[in-house]
Chains A and B, each alone.
Chain A
Amino acid sequence: TQLLEQSPQFLSIQEGENLTVYCNSSSVFSSLQWYRQEPGEGPVLLVTVVTGGEVKKLKRLTFQFGDARKDSSLHITAAQPGDTGLYLCAGARGGSNYKLTFGKGTLLTVNP
């Protein structure tokens, strides 16, 4: 059973466009993390959200945790080629915060 569903699976856009990727679940998570993975490398953490309704901004990236802590979104404004990569969400369940469940990822390509 896939606990975290990410959509879309693939996204190809032009430089300067805005985009949103989603991470949805029927389960409640105590925290949710977003990672970006570039080809040939391991994932790197972008942000952790903990509180329902929380919004965090990282330059042109905006992350939101759903009120019920079952879903999250990542919005990128004015995408650049350097944003290209695989975006992964990962949720921690209560009682085992060090063990994460990963979504399958959204592969983003930003064309110049």
Chain B
Amino acid sequence: DVKVTQSSRYLVKRTGEKVFLECVQDMDHENMFWYRQDPGLGLRLIYFSYDVKMKEKGDIPEGYSVSREKKERFSLILESASTNQTSMYLCASSLSQGFDEQYFGPGTRLTVT
């Protein structure tokens, strides 16, 4: 079975801190994604990567950056955390282009105070 793991289930940070969210998948998937999920807004794509060192902006990239140095690992970086970045962050991966399902991690609930 595909396993997508995220470094933390819960995280509390202060405004202005630099925050790293880590995601690792173990099935050699080409594509990796970062979403945030907020009540009433659904899942919104922040960034995705279709290959090592390749990335594309999603629908809401402002305030975020990403890094993919190895195929299995995709990191989301909040350069200077703000309270409006309090959210559930979900990482996902998929095999390649096509109608491939996305496999999600359990999520990181980030609170910025």
Contacts and interface: CB of A to CB of B under 8 A. Distances in A.
Q: Which of B4, B50, B101, B104 has the most CB of A within 10 A?
A: B101
B24 to A, nearest CB: 14
Contacts of A48: 99, 101
Contact of A45 (B35, B102, B106): B102
A55 interface: no
B92 interface: yes
A88 B42 contact: yes
Given A42-B90, A44-B104, A88-B42, A99 B48 contact: yes
A42 B107 CA distance: 6
A40 B106 contact: yes
Nearest to A103: B42
A41 B106 contact: yes
Interface residues of A, number: 22
A110 interface: no
Nearest to B90: A42
Interface string A4-28: 0000000000000000000000000
B101 A45 contact: yes
Interface string B84-113: 000000101010111111111111000000
15 contacts: A30-B99, A33-B99, A33-B101, A33-B102, A40-B106, A42-B4, A42-B105, A43-B102, A97-B98, A98-B96, A99-B58, A100-B45, A102-B42, A102-B43, A104-B41
Interface of B: 4, 31, 35, 40-45, 48, 50, 58, 90, 92, 94, 96-107
Given A33-B99, A43-B90, 19 more contacts: A30-B99, A33-B101, A33-B102, A42-B90, A42-B105, A42-B106, A43-B43, A43-B104, A88-B42, A88-B43, A97-B97, A97-B98, A98-B96, A100-B45, A102-B42, A102-B43, A102-B44, A103-B42, A104-B40
